[in-house]
Structure 1
Amino acid sequence: MIFPLSYIEFLAHFHGDRDFFECHEILEDHWKNTGMEKGSVWVGLIQIAVSFYHYRRGNKRGAIKMLEKALDIVNKKRAELHSLGINYEQLLSMLIRSCQDMQSGAPYSPINLPIQDSELLTVCKERVRLIGFDWGGKEELNDYIINKHIARNRLFTEKHLEKAAIE
C-alpha cells in the first residue's frame, strides 16, 4: 500500500521522539489539504496525539476530553483505520484503557499505535532510526518537547512583530 508521507512522519514522531505536538502539526496540514471533514480519521489521529500531549503535561482534564472526542471518531472509522494499516480493535482497546488511566489519575504512559501493515511498520521504523530515535523507546523528556506550544506561540508572536515593524 501507499501511504501519505505526512502520515509516515506522524507515526515516526508518535513512536520515535514522542513529539505529540509535531504529530498534531503534521496531520493538521494534511487534513487541511484533503478536505477538512470534521469527523475524518485524520482528526481522530490528531486528537489522539493532542490527548497524549496534554496527558504528559499533567493536563488530565484536557487529555480526557480530547481522547473522548478521538474515541468518538475512531468508533466510526474501522475501515479507514484498517486502510491506514492500523488494527482497529487493538487501537480501540488501547484508547479505552488510556482514557480509564487518565480518569483514575494514573501517571502518563505513552502508547504505540497498533500498526498491522508490515511494510508501513518497516518504513516508519526506518524513518525513526534516521531521525535518531528508537521505535517505541524511552522518551527523552525536556521542557521544549513538553511545552512545545509555548515556544511555537512565542515564535509566532516574534515573527508577527518583525513583519509589522518592516511594514
Structure 2
Amino acid sequence: MVARRKRFVTKQVTVPEAFARYCADFNSGRFYEAHEHLEEIWQFEHGPVRDLYKALIQAAAAYVHLQRGRYPGASRLLRTALGYLEPYRPGPAMGFDTEGIWRALDGARELLEELGPGGVERFPLAQRPVMDFDASALPAEARRWRAWGFDEEGRPLAMDITVPA
C-alpha cells in the first residue's frame, strides 16, 4: 500500500478577515466552516488570546454536534467553551462581546441539559449567540493582548499560513 502524502497550500490571512468569516458562517448556521476560519489563526496564536479563540472554535464545534444530534459532544463542548471564555468576561476581548456570548452559550447549555440526550433533536439551533466583533476596537485590543497577526500599532498584517489543501 502506498501512503498518500498530505497536500498543503500557503495562503494569506488577516485576523479581522478570519473573524468576519467566522461570524458570518456561525450566524448563518455553517458552524463547521466557522470553526475552520478561527482554527487557521488559533494555531499560530501563542499569546493570551489563544484561549479566547479556542472558546469560539469550541462554541462552533458544539453547534456542529447539535446539528448532528450528538448530545455528549455538544454538552462537553459547550461546557469547555464556557470555561475557556470565563477569563475574558466581562469583556470585551478582541472586539467580541464575551459576556453576551458567554450568557448565550450558558443558556444553550442549560436548555440542552433540560432536554437531555433523548431530546437533543428538539434543540432549537436558532438559540445561539449572535457572533459579531467590533473591528474599530481591534487596534487597541491587539496591542492590549499582544495578538498574533498585528503590528505594534495594532494594525492587521497579511500573514502567510500553510494549511491542508
TM-score (norm: length of structure 1): 0.60
Deviation at residue 35 of structure 1 after TM alignment: 2.5
2:31–2:64 CA contact under 8 A, matched in 1? yes
Q: Distance in 1 between matches of 2:47 and 2:135?
A: 29
Between the two structures, name the one with larger relative contact order (CA 8 Å, sep ≥ 6): 2
CA pair 36-116 structure 1, distance change in 2 beyond 3 A: closer
Q: Distance in 2 between matches of 1:47 and 1:78?
A: 17
1:90 — aligned with what? 100
1:1-40 CA-partner distances (Å, limit 9, x unpaired): x952111110010112x11111111111111122387961
1:32 alignment partner, one of 43, 54, 69 = 43
2:6 corresponds to 1:6: no
1:6–1:26 CA contact under 8 A, matched in 2? yes
2:130 alignment partner, one of 106, 113, 136 = 113
| Residue identity opposite 2:107 in structure 1 | R
| Residue identity opposite 1:77 in structure 2 | Y
| Aligned length in residues | 119
2:101–2:129 CA contact under 8 A, matched in 1? no
Deviation at residue 99 of structure 1 after TM alignment: 0.1
Q: How does 1:14-163 map to 2 (within 5 A)?
A: 14-16=26-28, 18-35=29-46, 40-78=51-89, 82-105=92-115, 107-108=122-123, 109-110=125-126, 111-113=128-130, 115=132, 117=134
1:82–1:88 CA contact under 8 A, matched in 2? yes
Q: Distance in 1 between matches of 2:130 and 2:69?
A: 21
1:140 — aligned with what? none
1:60–1:103 CA contact under 8 A, matched in 2? no
Q: Structure 1: give runs of 5+ residues left out of the alignment.
A: 121-155, 160-167
1:141-163 CA-partner distances (Å, limit 9, x unpaired): xxxxxxxxxxxxxxx9xx9xxxx
Pairwise CA RMSD: 3.0
SS at match of 2:92: helix
TM-score (norm: length of structure 2): 0.61
1:13–1:22 CA contact under 8 A, matched in 2? yes
Identical counterparts, % of pairs: 23
| Residue identity opposite 2:110 in structure 1 | Q
Q: Structure 2: give runs of 5+ residues left out of the alignment.
A: 1-13, 138-163
